Amino acid sequence: MTPKIQMLKIRKDFKSSQELLKVLGDISLFVNPGEFVSIIGPSGCGKSTVFQILTGLETYDEGQIKIDNIPLEKWHKKMSYMQQKDLLMPWRTVIENVLLPLEIQGAKKKDALNRVKELLPVFGLDGFDNAYPHQLSGGMRQRAALLRTVLTDSEIMLLDEPFGALDAINRSLMQQWLLEIWERFTHSVLFVTHDIEEAIFLSDRVYVLSQRPAKVVKEITIDFPRPRKKEFLVLPEFLEYKKSVLAALEPRQEAIPFIAGKE
Ligand X SMILES: Nc1ncnc2c1ncn2[C@@H]1O[C@H](COP(=O)(O)OP(=O)(O)OP(=O)(O)O)[C@@H](O)[C@H]1O
The binding site for ligand X (CB under 6 A) comprises 14, 21, 23, 43-49, 84
Distance CA 30, CA 261 (A): 44
Smallest distance from Mg ion to CB 172, Å:
22
Smallest distance from ligand X to CB 43, Å:
4
Of 48 and 149, which CB lies nearer to Mg ion in the complex structure? 48
Amino acid at 122: V
46's contact among ligand X, Mg ion, none, with CB below 5 to 8 A by partner kind, is: ligand X
Smallest distance from ligand X to CB 42, Å:
7
Distance CA 219, CA 177 (A): 25
Distance CA 62, CA 8 (A): 9
Of 81 and 232, which CB lies nearer to Mg ion in the complex structure? 81
Of 21 and 89, which CB lies nearer to ligand X in the complex structure? 21
Of 47 and 141, which CB lies nearer to ligand X in the complex structure? 47
Distance CA 158, CA 53 (A): 11
The residues that bridge with 221 in the sheet, in sequence order, are: 205
25's contact among Mg ion, ligand X, none, with CB below 5 to 8 A by partner kind, is: none
Of 21 and 239, which CB lies nearer to ligand X in the complex structure? 21
Closest of 27, 1, 3 to residue 213, by C-alpha: 27
End-to-end CA distance of the chain: 60
Distance CA 67, CA 11 (A): 18
Smallest distance from ligand X to CB 14, Å:
4
Residues 6 or more apart in contact with residue 95 via CB below 8 angstroms: 113, 116, 120, 129, 130
Of 147 and 209, which CB lies nearer to Mg ion in the complex structure? 209
In contact, 249 and 40? CB cutoff 8 Å: yes
Closest of 215, 192, 210, 218 to residue 63, by C-alpha: 215
Q: Of the candidates 6, 48, 52, 152, which one interacts with Mg ion according to CB under 5 A?
A: 48
Smallest distance from ligand X to CB 162, Å:
12
Residues 106-145 that bind Mg ion (CB under 5 A): none
3-state secondary structure of 221: strand
Smallest distance from ligand X to CB 21, Å:
6
**Contact stretch for Mg ion (CB under 5 A) within 6-14, 48-56, 94-102, 250-258:** 48-56
| Residues in contact with Mg ion by the rule CB under 5 A | 47-48, 84
